[in-house]
Amino acid sequence: MKMKSVVIRTTDIQKSIEFYEKVLGFSFDSMISAAPGKRIAFLSDKETCGQLELLYNERSKSIDHSGMSLTFVVDQIGEAEKKLVANGVRIVSPPKTVKDGKKIMTAIDPNGVELDFIEE
């Protein structure tokens, strides 16, 4: 079994595309109209081959992403923090060093999805 992609439901697909491209470095691949009022944007991380699908349904007014998180490995946690802050991203847990010496930080994407960053 292989995981193909992660799907994030969004109420603002354009804002989500811009965030994942500009802030996290994903590449926009394509967008389809799945049905009237429904669109799916496909993005990829060329370095890891990770796939992200942003799903928009104009009828959805709010979406609960509690319990969902994405994890990213970064070279320098301080540099990642600077980039996030410069782009107006809300950091909910600033960088800290955990017991095994790894540095971690948590932020929130425009959809309320938790983003964990780890410097190993």
| End-to-end CA separation in angstroms for the chain | 27
Q: Please check whether residues 44 and 75 belong to one and the same domain.
A: no
Looking at the fold, whether 13 and 37 belong to one and the same domain comes out as yes
| Both structure tokens of 99 | 């017991």
pLDDT tens, residue by residue, 57-111:
988 877 777 778 999 999 999 999 999 999 999 999 999 999 888 999 999 999 9
Task: Check residues 67 and 11 and name the one with the higher pLDDT.
Answer: 11
Q: Provide the whole-model pTM.
A: 0.85
Co-location of 51 and 75 in the same domain:
no
Query: 32 and 6 in one domain?
Result: yes
Residues 50 and 82 grouped into a single domain: no
Structural domain harbouring 92: 66-120
**Which domain CATH number covers 96?**
3.10.180.10
Question: pLDDT tens-digit profile of 16-61?
Answer: 999 999 999 999 999 999 889 999 999 999 888 889 999 999 888 7
Into how many domains does the chain fold? 2
| Residue finishing a domain among 45, 63, 81 | 63
- Tell me, yes or no, whether 14 and 55 share the same domain: yes
Cβ atoms of 114 and 69 closer than 8 Å? yes
E strands, the chain, are: 6-10, 27-35, 38-45, 50-57, 69-73, 90-97, 103-108, 114-119
Residue 1 has pLDDT above 70, yes or no: no
The answer for residues whose C-beta is within 8 angstroms of residue 78's C-beta and 6 or more apart is: 95
For residues 47-62, b (16+ Cβ closer than 10 Å) or e, as one string? eeeebbebbbbeeeee
Query: At 53, phi and psi to the nearest 5?
Result: -115, 130
Asked whether residue 70 falls in the same domain as residue 55, the answer is no
- Same domain, yes or no: 56 and 70: no
